[in-house]
């Protein structure tokens, strides 16, 4: 059987585990070929570091896409994350339209903010562009801040509790046309996870795991990368979200025990064996 391919459209930071330095090893461990399309190269990510370098790859992105098209490459998934400009959002939209096939799953992590705050680099126009990009997705993975932005309502007015989280998730589904994995969804103290609306079944399911009381960079990238790999391997949406939540919890437990600086991200590399297909037989 041919190894499935994922086109991963993210930035790359030389240090600090996030974006492509998370997606590439995770997808590879899951038996999926990761084909990176970098949006930018930074010496480190931007959280907790000063003086980082930044190389904008916007002009190169359509050239890479054109070459891949000439080669006749096909992808079982297209997976996008943090984007640096309105123009990049448009390039990703064009990429999806060019490479999408009936069996391609398009996963958009609409990275725009967290904890009720929009990231400094995002303008109102970029948030609108991200909403348009997300409209092309088969699966989106917003946190609560991004859910509020996509719904066009203040973060403080989002409904709470299980019924409220289910309502948010279902409203984001575009009347059932796309699947939604609402991340960072806690139904009880000491728990976290996701609420999932599956467009294929029309069902909403809740995934919960233990909450590790520690802040980490890059956990959203870890979650969405595992989710994408699991979906490509044929898992249901809820099963993929459960695998992703469990792996993030394991990484958080390990990293908290080591007391690593927050800016280094989660120490996931020693745990990649947990994601290997058929690991029980090894």
Which residue's entry shows tokens 């919960």?
A: 208
- Where does residue 233 rank: exposed (0-12), middle (13-18), buried (19+ CB within 10 A)? middle
Q: Would you state the pLDDT for residue 280?
A: 52
Residue 10 contacts residue 19 (beta carbons within 8 Å): yes
- Rounded to two decimals, the pTM is 0.96
Q: What does each of the 282 residues of the chain score in pLDDT, given as a tens digit? A: 799 999 999 999 999 999 999 999 999 999 999 999 999 999 998 888 889 999 999 999 999 999 999 999 999 999 999 998 999 999 999 999 999 999 999 999 999 999 899 988 889 999 999 999 999 999 999 999 999 999 999 999 999 999 999 999 999 999 999 999 999 999 999 999 999 999 999 999 999 999 998 888 899 999 999 999 999 999 999 999 999 999 999 999 999 999 888 899 999 999 999 999 976 543
DSSP 30: T
pLDDT of residue 278: 78
Element (DSSP H or E) covering residue 96: helix 86-99
- State the pLDDT at residue 282: 36
pLDDT of residue 272: 97
Three-state DSSP class for residue 265? coil
Q: Cα separation of 155 and 68, whole Å? A: 40
DSSP secondary structure string for all residues of 100-149: --TT-EEEE----EETTEE-TT--HHHHHHHHHHHTT-SEE---HHHHHH
254: helix, coil or strand?
helix
Place of tokens 């967290």: 114
Helix (H) or strand (E) holding 224: helix 219-232
Report pLDDT for 214. 82
């Amino acid at each position: 059987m041919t190894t499935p391919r994922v086109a991963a459209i993210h930035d790359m930071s030389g240090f600090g585990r996030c974006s492509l330095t998370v997606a590439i090893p995770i997808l590879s461990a899951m038996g999926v070929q990761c084909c990176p399309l970098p949006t930018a190269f930074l010496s480190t990510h931007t959280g907790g570091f000063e003086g980082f370098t930044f190389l904008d790859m916007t002009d190169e992105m359509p050239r890479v896409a054109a070459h891949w098209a000439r080669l006749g490459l096909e992808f079982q998934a297209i997976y996008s994350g943090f984007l640096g400009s309105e123009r990049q959002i448009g390039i990703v939209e064009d990429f999806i339209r060019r490479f999408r096939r009936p069996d391609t799953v398009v996963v958009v992590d609409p990275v725009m903010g967290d904890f009720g705050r929009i990231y400094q680099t995002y303008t109102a126009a970029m948030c609108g562009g991200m909403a348009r990009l997300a409209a092309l997705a088969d699966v989106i993975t917003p946190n609560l801040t991004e859910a509020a932005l996509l719904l066009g309502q203040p973060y403080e007015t989002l409904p709470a509790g299980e019924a409220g989280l289910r309502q948010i998730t279902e409203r984001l589904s575009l009347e059932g046309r796309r699947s939604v994995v609402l991340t960072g969804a806690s139904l009880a103290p000491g728990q976290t996870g996701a609420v999932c609306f599956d467009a294929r079944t029309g069902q909403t399911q809740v995934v919960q795991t233990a909450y590790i009381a520690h802040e980490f960079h890059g956990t959203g990238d870890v979650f969405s990368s595992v989710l994408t790999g699991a979906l490509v391997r044929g898992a249901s949406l809820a099963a993929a979200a459960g695998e992703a939540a469990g792996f993030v919890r394991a990484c958080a437990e390990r990293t908290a025990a080591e007391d690593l600086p927050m800016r280094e991200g989660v120490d996931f590399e020693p745990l990649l064996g947990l994601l290997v297909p058929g690991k029980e037989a090894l």
